[in-house]
Amino acid sequence: MKQHRAGAKCRAASYTFLIVCCKLLLTNLGPASVNFLPVNDPYTSFGGPSKGQCQGAEFKWDDGWIADSYPLPIHRPGSRYNPGYHLLSIDLVNANIRVRSKRCSGNTAALETSCSSCLGLGPEVDSMRAWSRERPGKKPSGRLSRNQLDHKLEAVNQKLRAEQAKTTNTRKYLTRARKRNNAHRVLLDLISTNDVPGLPRLLSTSKKEGWSPSKTTSKASLALQNKYHPRNYTALDKDLAILIYEL
């Protein structure tokens, strides 16, 4: 008798009877909030519990909005950065991801929805979570999340702005250098082709006063027209003037 009650068919019949009784009880109590398995479900059939289909494993992703923090590009077809699992779905409301191991056989043990390979993906998901928290640095773009790509883009923009500022400063410096070079050339042409009166005193005054090449050229032109007389006399100039006066 004990062996008869322990048989698979009797256990299945008992499960079916209990389910029917519970359904009748819940029907009398009101709408049910629990979904029971149908009578002909493989788990309650007379053949006993059987293997089911693996639905992957679900893991919490608590590093912010999944669409921004999860490195989705690694799952693109042809990507060489694929992890050891496939991404099945994303639950944006509850911040969960459902993944399936690449070693998943597709079958599960009785009363289970995930196989051991999928359930053992915790370390790989944790590794991916740690990767998504790191700064992008020089990491390849094909393995970065949207947040990391934004950080990388901002870093590139900062470098670009710095280089643009350097280029602008270089252009300004080059423009000033060209103007100064032209002014020096004009001054050199003037004093090399004309006998400027008191040229040594004029150049000495220009250096002492800090004149620009353009101002020095202007003073030299006035000296040629006898409209400017440099008075930065040296001791030798004064001695020569006294000697000429006494003679």
Q: Which two tokens stand for residue 157?
A: 């923009």
Spatial contact of 52 and 107, defined as CB atoms under 8 Å apart: yes
Closest C-alpha to 223, from 199, 187, 193, 189: 199
Write the pLDDT tens digit of every residue in 153-211.
Answer: 888 899 899 998 989 999 999 999 999 999 999 999 998 899 888 888 888 888 888 89
- In 14-169, beta strands by DSSP E: 52-53, 57-60, 85-91, 96-101, 107-108
Tens digits of per-residue pLDDT, 50-86?
457 888 899 999 888 888 889 888 888 878 887 888 8
Residue 149, C-beta contacts closer than 8 angstroms, at least 6 positions apart:
136, 141
> Which single residue is written with the structure tokens 């009785």?
110
Q: Delimit the domains of the chain by residue range.
A: 1-50, 195-247
d(Cα 227, Cα 17) in Å, to the nearest integer? Answer: 127
Alpha carbon distance 244, 103 (integer Å): 112
Residue 66 has a pLDDT of 87
Q: Is the pTM of this model over 0.85?
A: no
Backbone angles phi, psi at 233, to 5 degrees: -75, 145
